[in-house]
Amino acid sequence: MLYLDHASTSFPKDPRVVEAVARALADPGVAPDRGHSERGRAAGRIVDEARALVATLLSVPSPQRVTFTLNATDALNLAIKGCLRAGDEVVLTQAEHNSVVRPLHGLKRALDVKLRVAPADERGRVAAAEVLKLVTPRTRLVVMAHASNVTGALQPVGEVGRALRAGGPSALDARPLLLADVAQSAGYRPLDEIAAVADLIAGAGHKGPGGPLGTGFLWAREGVELAPLREGGTGVKSEEPLQPSDYPGALEAGSANVPGIAGLAEAIRLRLADGGLQTVAAARRAIGAEFLARAAELDGVVVYGPQRPDEREPVFPVRVRGLSVAEAAVVLERRFGIEQRAGLHCAPGTHVALQTAFEGTLRLSFGSRPASSEVAAAIAALREAARAV
C-alpha cells in the first residue's frame, strides 16, 4: 500500500515515536506532578520538555503558554470559545475547516456572535485585502488557516497579522486577536512569520509533527487570557474553588496524556534533526512541483488549487472525469494500492470556491519525506483510471 493521506494523519509513525509512547506508558506510567512521588515528577519532566519542543517547533517564546490538547479541533475550540463573548465580531475566511466554522456558528446562535467571511478565489486562495477590509473597530478575533486542508493553499496570515499591528495600537486590548490554524503546516515548514504576528496558534500533533493521535497544542501570547473550556483538577492550588489562572494549568484540567505527549516530543525531536524544517519544506516543495508538472500532462484529470508549488503544501484535490469521487477512490485503493481520501474534507466552503461542492474531490497528500516514486505511482494510477473511463 502507498499511503497518501498525510493531510488527515501522518503514517506510519517513526518506530522511535512508538517506543517513546510505550516507555512513558510503562514508566513513569502516572499523571504528572501529582503529589510528591518521583514518578509524578518524572512524568512532569516529560510534559515540560514537550512544551519546550512545541515552542521551538512553532518558533514562539514562553513554553509555559503552550497548552496540550486532544487535537487541533480541541485547540481551536479552546481559543475560540475562550476569547469570545456575546455580541463579539469575528472575521474568518471561506477556506476554514469545520473546526473553526462549527464553533463559530454555534456561538452565532447562542451568543449572537457576528461572523464576517472573506471569500476564497477559484484556486482556494484568500487575499489579505479581502480579510482586512472586513475588520472593524468591533472585531474581536480574526481566524485564518495557514494552509488549506483541501488544496494546501498557503494563506497570507503573516501579511494580515502585520497589517493588524500596523493599522492602529498594538496593545492586545486595542486590536483584534489573530488566531492561526497551523494544523496543515506545523512540522512541515518554519513558522517564524506566523509566530511574529499571531496571538493564538492551534495545531495538531498527529499530522506534520509526526506524533500520535490524540495530541494537539494551543499557544497563547503573553497577555492573552482565555476562559477555560474545561475545569477540574490541576494538581496545584487544590484549595481554590476556581480554575487557576496561571498557565499552563489555566486550560489543562485533569490528568495529561503523558504517553501521547512523550510520543509527540520524540516526533518533534526527530523532525527538528537532520536539517530541520527547512529541509522538510524544501523536499515537500520539490515533490509538489514534480506532481503538478506530471499531472498537467494527464488527459481527463483535473488538479485543483494553486498551480505554483511555492504557494501550497503538497496536498492535491483531484477529479477523474467520468468517475465519481467515490469510484475514483475505490479504483486507486483496490487496483493500485493507494490510500487517499475522498469527499468534502470537512471544509465545504473551500469546495464551494473550487466548484466541487456536489461531492468533493479525491485528495492526495504527501508526508514529511516524500519520494519521486510516490509521485510516479500516483500519476500512473490516475492515468490508468482516466484511460479506463
Q: What is the pLDDT of residues 251-287, one digit of tens each?
A: 998 899 999 999 999 999 999 997 899 999 999 999 9
Query: How far, in Å, CA of 78 to CA of 87, rounded?
Result: 18
Model confidence pLDDT, tens digit, residues 119-153? 999 999 999 999 999 999 999 999 999 999 999 99
Length of the chain equals 389
Question: Among 322, 340, 217, which Cα is nearest to 267's?
Answer: 217
Bridge partners of 5? Answer: 365
**Using CA atoms, how far apart are residues 317 and 335, in angstroms rounded to an integer?**
20
Q: Domains of the chain by range and CATH?
A: 15-272 (3.40.640.10), 276-388 (3.90.1150.10)
How many other β-carbons are positioned within 10 Å of the β-carbon of residue 256? 20
pLDDT digits (tens, 9 = 90+) for 305-336: 999 999 999 999 999 999 999 999 999 999 99
Report which of 81, 105, 314, 71 is spatially closest to residue 202, judged by C-alpha positions: 71
Query: Mutual orientation of helices 372-388 and 325-336 as an angle, nearest 10°?
Result: 120
Q: What is the DSSP letter of 348?
A: H
The three cell numbers of residue 91 are 472575521
| CA dist., res. 236 & res. 217, Å (int) | 21
State pTM to two decimals.
0.96
Cα 163 to chain center, whole Å? Answer: 23
Q: In this structure, are residues 21 and 258 in contact, taking their beta carbons and an 8 Å threshold?
A: no
Instruction: From 342, 359, 82, select the one nearest 219 (Cα to Cα).
Output: 82
Q: Express each pLDDT in 182-237 by its tens digit.
A: 999 999 999 999 999 999 999 999 999 999 999 999 999 999 999 998 888 877 77
347 HSE (CA, 13 A, CB side): 30
Question: Across all residues in the chain, what is the average pLDDT?
Answer: 95
Residue 206 contacts residue 213 (beta carbons within 8 Å): yes
C-alpha 166/C-alpha 100 separation (Å) is 26
Distance CA 387, CA 130 (A): 41
